Structure 1
Amino acid sequence: MSRRFPTFRIPVIGARAACAALALAMLPGLATTAVAASLQVAPTSVELQASENGEAVWLSNTDADTPVRAQVRLFRWTQHNGEDTLEPTRDLAISPPLVELAGGARQLVRVIRTGPPPTDTETSYRIIVDEVPDGTAADRTGLQFLLRYSIPVFVLPAGEAPITYQLAPRLEHDGDAATLVVANHGGRHAQLADLAYVDAGGNRHELLSGLVGYVLPGQTMRWALPASASRYADGGRFQVRINGEAAEQTLALDRAAR
């Protein structure tokens, strides 16, 4: 059975190639003082070459005094009807799936490919790292914040031919609302960040800061745009950063499509 994966707005780390989804959940029934979580995960994006059988992810406890426990799971990541979906998979394995970190400790977690690499298109997965609540803590007077990291994993296909994304963006109008629709006809994912619109007069309008989202190979994603649809009807252009590249790229719209 599929598990729906909620999309989180998070800061983009480092050179923007790394991203992880972070959720903070407060345990009910606790009062006043907040206890900060200390679980850290690196890297925040994993790429597995066809010639590689595994990669490493490090879990760290930045609190020198308090132990941390975490559960590590791995899911196949796909997109359907503009939504991210996670499903159980045996294509990759995680070892170990449960981690207990003493204060200041680090633990290596292996991502292991259990089958052959894909043939012509990359496949995508997500590592979900959940901090496990501490049920033995003596101090129950504070709020305990639990971290969740969602780390993208991309397995590249076999063969020497390079693969890349191939984006086909268009605008859709519904009354005065505008939606940017981006299809990816290539064999590689596209991570979009820092979406802006430059109007015909050269004025720049920041639309979506930081991580906008991913478009996986063969999929189409949609993002509602701020402001009225009339703003985007003057022949301007959309600018975006793709896959952590420093230079912005222009999205060449098919303005005939509605």
Structure 2
Amino acid sequence: MKRLATAMILSSVAAFALTVHPIPVKIEGKKYAEFHLGDDTGKYQVFIKKWKQENGEDVLEDTKEIFVFPKIFQAPKTIKIYAKSKNIEQEQAYRLILKELNIKKRNDNKTVVLKTLSIPVFVKPKNETPNLKTECVGHTLRLINNGNVHFKILSIANKKEVIYVLSNQTKEVQDVENSGVIETNRGFYEYTCKEVQ
């Protein structure tokens, strides 16, 4: 089991001059999905990890439920991601991790930055039942996902955020405004904080 801080697991591709799509990867209605990495000529190795959340923390685990092909490739390239499960009741979450391989040696003492990308992958259930509830006491907001699909939080009270709440999981956000609107990938939700008793 491997635990990663949220900032690390949600590493953005914006720091690199890359074209990657789609984000996130969704497998629905068939056994595989395609992912494209372009605007690059690097050589990459691909890993796929099961993505869970425990006590609000992101956890990555080895898995045999899903696999990718090819596992090593030269960009630009389109790879395929295959899921063994289908007709599932609850969405399954994974992370597609691409690590650039250092195959060039440099003698000019310049720093070489090797890219590592972490892309969310979701295997969709046959029927989606999103259900997000909120609780706020003081300035601590709890995001309670009672549905069978994930929520991506885009902003809270006009403050931009990137927070994933996986199905049947809860996330806490500290120091929020007393009231406001939560923008998600599935719509908008209002919240109001209660005073601490």
Please say if 1:251 is aligned against 2:190: yes
User: CA 1:150–1:75 in 2, change beyond 3 Å: closer, same or farther?
Assistant: same
Equivalent of 1:241 in 180, 183, 189: 183
Map residues 55-204 of structure 1 onto 2, 5 A cutoff: 55-62=33-40, 67-101=41-75, 106-113=76-83, 115-117=84-86, 119-134=88-103, 136-158=104-126, 162-173=127-138, 178-196=139-157
Question: TM-score normalised to the size of structure 1?
Answer: 0.67
Map residues 204-219 of structure 1 onto 2, 5 A cutoff: 206=158, 208-211=159-162, 213-219=163-169
Question: TM-score normalised to the size of structure 2?
Answer: 0.86
Distance in structure 2 (CA, Å) of the matches to 1:138 and 1:190: 44
Distance in structure 2 (CA, Å) of the matches to 1:91 and 1:22: 25
User: CA 1:225–1:70 in 2, change beyond 3 Å: closer, same or farther?
Assistant: same
Size of the aligned set, in residue pairs, is 197
Shift of 1:250: 2.5
> What is the CA deviation profile of residues 68-104 of structure 1, one whole-angstrom value per residue up to 9, with x for unaligned ones?
1111110111100001111111111011111123xxx
Higher relative contact order (CA 8 A, sep 6+): 1
Contact 2:137 2:194 survives alignment (8 Å): no
User: CA 1:138–1:145 in 2, change beyond 3 Å: closer, same or farther?
Assistant: closer
Distance in structure 1 (CA, Å) of the matches to 2:181 and 2:8: 19
The residue type paired with residue 90 of structure 2 is: T
**Percentage identity across paired residues of the two chains:** 24
Contact 1:74 1:94 survives alignment (8 Å): yes
> What is the CA deviation profile of residues 30-70 of structure 1, one whole-angstrom value per residue up to 9, with x for unaligned ones?
xxxxxx96554322211111x301011112243xxxx4111
Distance in structure 1 (CA, Å) of the matches to 2:117 and 2:57: 19
CA RMSD between the two structures: 2.8
The residue type paired with residue 115 of structure 2 is: L
Contact 1:165 1:188 survives alignment (8 Å): yes
Contact 2:136 2:191 survives alignment (8 Å): no
1:200 is aligned to none
The residue type paired with residue 22 of structure 1 is: S
Shift of 1:22: 3.0
Shift of 1:252: 4.0
Shift of 1:137: 2.9
Shift of 1:182: 0.8
For structure 1, the 5+ residue unaligned runs are 11-19, 25-35, 197-205
Shift of 1:6: 2.2
Please say if 1:21 is aligned against 2:11: yes
Distance in structure 1 (CA, Å) of the matches to 2:47 and 2:165: 22
Distance in structure 1 (CA, Å) of the matches to 2:20 and 2:26: 15
Shift of 1:222: 1.0
The residue type paired with residue 5 of structure 1 is: L
